[in-house]
Amino acid sequence: NYELPFDAGPLRSFERFVEAVTEDDDKAAARAEAARDKYDADGEPADLYIGPSDRDNQSFLTGMAITGVPLAMLLLIPYVRRWWRRRPGAPVSFTKRPSTPRRRTRWLLPLAAAATAVAIAATAPHVYDQTTSSASPRPRAIDLNARIDRVVEGLAQDPVYQDPESPRALDRTQLTQLQARIEKFSASKGGGPVFMALVPQLYEDESGSDEEYFAYAVHDKLGKDGVYIVADPLDGYINVFNYGLGLDSYGPLYDLPESVTYGDEKSDTADDHLLGERLTTVMTALDKTERTDEPTTPGDPYSLTDPITEDELNPLFYGDFWPGLFVGALAAGAVLALVATALGIVRKSLLRRNPEPLQPSALPTASPAMPTKPYLQDTARIELRAMTREFGTGETADTRARNRYDATMLLATDEETLAELAPATLTAVIVLARATRAALTGDVSTLCCGVNPLHGPAKTRRHVRTSSVETRRRMLPLCPVCLDDPHKIPARLLKLPPNGLPYYEDELLSAVPEGFTKLGRKVREATNVR
């Protein structure tokens, strides 16, 4: 009672019972006590079989997994890797990464996703390996047809058949009277055969408690048209079906009172449900029903579940499996959206500690004219990280971007060395890193502001005074802010620590007003690289 679940079935229960009774008393008692304790602790054992709805759920989950898991891999892994490389504060490698290995591994992720889908499809039938929903043995066709064959054989010899396995509802006198009434109707003008079957209609039998289906099966096997009357000796119900006789469908036969078809209080209390009297009333109504030239036949009954296959579960790749494929794709997209939202929140948190480079439009107003060395170091570190993330392997970079990237790498070989670089070198790193990022976006600018290179891209060249005490003018590229207000150019001129000299007096930065290309050449000359 405690070892097996409710759906174990009588055969398995009997086998377990035999096991228990063949053991010695002490061992059997200990086994029973252990089973009872487990039952008290864990409740009833899990069911051994699943139902059709459980199989639908399994099919749905399998479909979701086959599409959802591989798609999630294809969407999430590249997204998370890209986010990780570009996250604020990510460590930067200042060594140019070769692109060849990446080309070789480009197809690894799609192949892994495809292999995952195949693995799930191959494994699911072994995980969800149930094939039946019940412990009941599959019935044989001969078992299902046995009663129908017996009824048909009896009706072929006598128009009134009483089930020998059920209570006798008709005595000899009633049987003789009904046989005579049937013979009289058969011989009448427009009449025909009448077949009475006093057989129970149970949910467990081949009819599935459907009298119409039973009458249809008997008529089909007997092969004779006529009036088929099905009377249930257990509940007393009477049902009449006409197959092929010309009877008025609005006649008394089709308007029998409920006291005849379903019985009344008197018939309910009788052991035989007064079937003899009520069947006689049916024959009387049949005699009174007008004949017609057109025969009538009821339509096909509702199809019953095949008892042979009713306990079989649908295949795993069937039914809800197909919607599961679609929902799996949607679920992968939903997971990507959730991950993107979470990483977006994390990114905002990291940005507070590791700010991103300023937008070019904000540089003129945010960049100081006399920066400190720590400011230049922090700015160089931010710009280098941004440049390295955006440049990646350089597969999509054009020649300009590659040249500027290489020049930047010559100056900053390692992030730790930024603290050792001179202010002028740090400034050159900032300018070249920004120029590289601009080239990666398709910006064709070749000049930065000659008043303060930290201001970003220049708009045009002008002769301007860079000192409030000297009258000498210089031809310098100007950013929009310096171009709009030339009187403030002396105050905006970049002066480097520690002595506050104008930046262009440094040998390396003297090439800045001539453009990024000239600055890159100057860097190569200074580092002895050709």
For the entire predicted model, the pTM comes to 0.55
**Confidence category of residue 294, pLDDT binned at 50, 70, 90:** confident
Percent of the chain with pLDDT over 70: 92
Q: Give the pairing type, strands 226-231 and 501-502.
A: unpaired
Residue 372 pLDDT greater than 90, yes or no: yes
Q: Quick one: average pLDDT of 113-132? A: 93
Q: What is the mean pLDDT of the chain?
A: 87
pLDDT band at 493 (very low <50, low <70, confident <90, very high): very high
Token readout for 110 is: 């799609």
Query: What is the per-residue pLDDT for 140?
Result: 72
Residue 425 in this model has a pLDDT that exceeds 60: yes
Higher local confidence (pLDDT), 34 or 400:
400
Segment among 49-53, 120-124, 151-155, 498-502 with least mean pLDDT? 49-53
Q: Regarding predicted confidence, which is higher, 528 or 406? A: 406
**CB-CB neighbours of 235 under 10 Å:** 13
Q: Is the pLDDT of residue 144 over 90?
A: no
Q: What is the predicted pLDDT for the residue at 337?
A: 96
Of 297-311, 329-343, 349-363, 490-504, where does mean pLDDT reach its minimum?
Answer: 297-311
By DSSP bridging, strand 291-296 and strand 245-247 are: antiparallel
**Helix, strand, or coil (residue 90):** coil
Nearest to 93 by CA among 473, 413, 513: 413
153-185 pLDDT per residue, tens: 999 999 999 999 888 889 999 999 999 999 999
pLDDT of residue 14: 74
- Predicted confidence at residue 40, as pLDDT, reads 65
pLDDT band at 94 (very low <50, low <70, confident <90, very high): low
Q: Tell me how far CA of residue 262 lies from CA of 229, 233, 282, in angstroms.
A: 13, 12, 12
Select the more confidently predicted residue: 98 or 63: 63
Q: pLDDT at residue 437 above 60? A: yes
Radius of gyration of the chain (CA): 47
Closest by CA to 195, choosing from 259, 244, 143, 144, is 244
Angle value at C-alpha 276, between 270 and 281, nearest 5 degrees: 115
Report the pLDDT value the prediction gives residue 307, as an integer from 0 to 100.
Answer: 61
Average pLDDT over residues 66-79: 96
Does residue 441 contact residue 398 with C-beta atoms inside 8 Å? no
CA angle 36, 41, 43 (to 5 degrees): 80
φ/ψ of residue 383, rounded to 5: -65, -40
Local confidence band at 374 (pLDDT 50, 70, 90 cut-offs): very high
pLDDT band for position 530 (50/70/90)?
very low
Cα separation, 129 vs 131, in Å, equals: 6
Percent of the chain clearing pLDDT 90 (strictly above) = 55
Does pLDDT of 274 surpass 70? yes
Q: Which helix (H) or strand (E) holds 74?
A: helix 52-86
User: CA-to-CA distance for 437 and 433, rounded, in angstroms?
Assistant: 6
